[in-house]
Amino acid sequence: MKVQLVGVRLAFPDLFEAKPFEAGGPKRYSATALIEPGSENDKKIRAAIAEVAKEKWGKKAEANLKAYAGNSNKFCYVDGATKDYDGFEGMWALSSHRREIDGRVTVIGRNKEALTPADGKPYGGCYVNMLVDVWAQEGQYPGMRCGLLGVQFVKDGDAFSGAAPASPDEFEDLGVPEEDEALV
């Protein structure tokens, strides 16, 4: 079930280059959305999870969700307090992924222009809109999953781990070097 998240904080973005979850494993794109408890985004995700679980598991939906909740290997939406990362405390974390073989993630700017790594955004700590796909998995690795479909940069935020590039405003204007003054 597709869910549009609006103005969420982005963490752990692997949007332009797919990376393996485990060494030698299949590559995937990924991103985590940090979501304020009780917000409209939180309500949308919880509703989607409940609906998908009911469609997939019927009467077993509630029991399965209870069994998977809190286990980040089986449940895509976890309490940020269970993670020891900057920005996660007091938030919920939605982990989403897209297999490399399914194609690149759509990554766009505010005006829907395509973004590349050279643009320096989106980055961990900025705010984005995300389009995700919540789904239930059975079989060898059962759980509640979230597919990553697209990310739109919304606005800057405090970068995690220095991920944002420096702004020109952070430097002093040095003017023309003395040796070049004769040329001016």
pLDDT given for residue 184 in this prediction: 55
**Across the strands, what pairs with 75?**
144
Residues 115, 153: contact at Cβ < 8 Å?
yes
Q: Quick check: is 182 in a domain?
A: no
Instruction: Note the Cα 156 to chain centre separation in Å.
Output: 15
Is residue 7 in a domain?
yes
Q: Helix, strand, or coil here: 79?
A: strand
Ranges of the chain with pLDDT below 70? 162-167, 179-184
Q: Give the pLDDT confidence score for residue 160 in this predicted structure.
A: 87
The confidence score (pLDDT) of residue 169 equals 79
Check residue 161 and give its pLDDT: 73
Q: Is residue 88 part of a domain?
A: yes
The total domain count for the chain is 1
Note whether residue 11 is domain-resident. yes
In a domain, 167, yes or no: no
- Across the strands, what pairs with 108? 114, 152
Determine, yes or no, domain membership for 176.
no
* In contact, 28 and 21? CB cutoff 8 Å: yes
Assigned domain for 40 exists: yes
pLDDT tens-digit readout, 137-172: 998 889 999 999 999 999 999 998 755 566 677 788
CA gap 79, 76 in Å, rounded = 10
For residue 142, the enclosing domain spans 2-18+26-160
Q: Domain for residue 65, yes or no?
A: yes
CATH code for the domain in which residue 56 is found: 2.40.50.140
